[in-house]
Structure 1
Amino acid sequence: MKAKIGIFYLVFYGVLAALFAICMWVFFQTLDPRIPKWQLDSSIIGTSPGLGFRPMPPEENVESTLIWYKATDEQNYRHWTQSLETFLEVYRKPGLTPGRGQNIYNCDYDKPPGRGQVCNVDVKNWVPCTQENKFNYHKSAPCVFVKLNKIYNWIPEFYNDTDRLPDKMPADLKQYIHELKMNNQTAMLNTVWVSCEGENPADKENLGGIKYYPTRGFPGYFYPYENSEGYLSPIIAINFERPT
């Protein structure tokens, strides 16, 4: 009797396992490993990509985004520069990202990538925001890198009409956009603009000059993101020339 019961449960659980395996197999047939089923407004992420930044604070101080250090003590600011070195390694060495070496393409506003190609992000020449220059931390003029989080098939709505720029857009950014148009660099108007300013009056007063590398925004030719093999998000280096 015990043998019959054992055989029954063995067959019973075997059938359950087989049914579960079949259900999972059918389910995975409906999924594409590169294309999400739910996109943009139909997805949880939506159509508003978040803006990330590096370097991040130490683990023991994750609740603060403040970057503080002594420029005269390399060990004191080593955490910040090492964090940037780690973050930028995949940009400096294309071979670390599968498919990037064979698909990489030197994009420009008049040379968008073809299907399956990914745009190069050459961070090696963004002086002073380079690893060799310690990202300028030793000169009390640190660099911070920002990037947009990836959303599949997202296409930005560009502020490329100089007559219809938002009222709240910073005056210096408006001037920058107008100068591009005056210099007949209209293709560059298709950019996701970036502007940095202090959070409160004291911050604004002590922020000092700011420079953006390689340009003041994320070029439109990086979008839409289609999960092409080897793709890396565009990034911008922001150099705070003399914060006080």
Structure 2
Amino acid sequence: MNYGSKTTFGFDTDKRKLPLSKRLVLYAYDKDTGEIFGRKPSSWVQIGLFYTAFYITLVAMFAVVLWVFFQTLDPRTPTRQLEQSLIGTNPGLGFRPMSNETHSTLIHINSKSVQEYSVWMQRLIEFLDVYKKPGLTPGRGQNIATCNYDKPPGKGKVCDVDVKAFDMCTEEHRFYFDRQAPCIFLKLNKIYGWNPIFYDKPDELPHDMPHSLKDHIKNITNPDELRTVWVSCEGETVSDKELIGPMSYWPIPGFPGYFFPFENSEGYLSPLVAIHFKRPAKSIVINILCRAWAKNIVHKVNGINRGSVHFELMID
């Protein structure tokens, strides 16, 4: 059937006079010309082959560029380190156990309820599992070394963290959650390549370091043991200092220097300090500030606490 001459829009002149609905049907498939959406099947095949080849080439080029890029990266060594990194050179502290509530730093332990304090116990047990079971950390089983101040880890080795050294702050003792004298664990945040500058001279200790920690450092007889990133915890206000009560630190009040620097070695785990709050005030929130001490750890930056961690403790 002849409808007349073609126009630039792909329809014959007479076809353009048809109703819109019929024109749409003819555009989708014109049985007279065999065109589908204005093109013959052979034309659609050519276009399909072109774009298939085009996108395959594009994906291949992207894959090659990505492969070349990854060849320049070391999976264990970050490209930007220390001052050039987003983390910077001032490590902070972390604490465990933590609340499941977002942004909450309150540790509220009801020692009278097994069901309630068992929840906090389980969080600590899960946190310490990787320290107790080397197989949970890839590569840790083969390269653990027992380190001390006279025996740092050898090449390719990582220091063991002995959970038995936490004295009463263990799962077997229920972390003393059932005796209104809980144990809280501290860890120093990892910064690749960071080396602490130790307070290795007792007469150069900072003026704001707690007296109890100063006394501990001054009583050390082995000079190698001064190579430690020290840790202290205090009540944040005058009233908190009275409410917090006596504390003990296990195994020592600090992180031994042989754990540093962190170089992302396979199987590495951060050292821990367990703080045993022996007689904190009951049924009241106690604000606690724990600080790490090294010459290159700054505690205040533009009025904001750094190199430390704040949490609240409430015991019932």
Q: Which of 48, 55, 70 is 1:6 aligned to?
A: 48
Read off the aligned partner of 1:233 and give its amino acid letter. Answer: S
- 1:28-68 CA-to-partner distances (Å, cap 9, x unmatched) read 01101111111111111111112111000133xx3331222
Read off the aligned partner of 2:64 and give its amino acid letter. Answer: I
User: What RMSD over aligned residues (CA atoms) do the two structures have, in Å?
Assistant: 1.0
4+ residue segments displaced more than 2 Å: none
Q: Look up the match of 2:268.
A: 231
Aligned length: 239
1:120 aligns with 2:160: yes
Alignment partner of 1:212: what SS? strand
Counterparts in 2 of 1:108-187, with a 5 A limit? 108-180=148-220, 184-187=221-224
Instruction: Find the aligned partners of 1:179 and 1:207 in 2 and give their Cα distance.
Output: 24
Alignment partner of 2:172: what SS? helix
- 1:110-169 CA-to-partner distances (Å, cap 9, x unmatched) read 000011101010113422100011000111000000101111111011111112111111
Q: Percent same amino acid at aligned positions?
A: 58
Instruction: Find the aligned partners of 1:52 and 1:187 in 2 and give their Cα distance.
Output: 26
Q: Look up the match of 1:243.
A: 280
How far is 1:3 from its partner?
A: 1.1
Alignment partner of 2:109: what SS? coil
Q: Look up the match of 1:206.
A: 243
Instruction: Find the aligned partners of 2:76 and 2:84 in 1 and give their Cα distance.
Output: 17
Contact persistence 1:92–1:124 (CA under 8 A): no
Instruction: Find the aligned partners of 2:164 and 2:202 in 1 and give their Cα distance.
Output: 32
Contact persistence 2:165–2:250 (CA under 8 A): no
Read off the aligned partner of 1:108 and give its amino acid letter. Answer: N
| Gap runs ≥5 in structure 1 | none
Instruction: Find the aligned partners of 2:199 and 2:165 in 1 and give their Cα distance.
Output: 28
Contact persistence 2:167–2:251 (CA under 8 A): no
| Gap runs ≥5 in structure 2 | 1-42, 282-316
Structure that is richer in helix per residue: 1
Q: Look up the match of 1:65.
A: 105
- Name the TM-score, length of structure 2 as normaliser: 0.74
Contact persistence 1:100–1:231 (CA under 8 A): yes
Instruction: Find the aligned partners of 2:272 and 2:178 in 1 and give their Cα distance.
Output: 22
Read off the aligned partner of 2:226 and give its amino acid letter. Answer: L
Q: Look up the match of 2:134.
A: 94
Alignment partner of 2:190: what SS? coil
Instruction: Find the aligned partners of 1:74 and 1:30 in 2 and give their Cα distance.
Output: 54
Read off the aligned partner of 1:18 and give its amino acid letter. Answer: A
Instruction: Find the aligned partners of 1:73 and 1:9 in 2 and give their Cα distance.
Output: 68
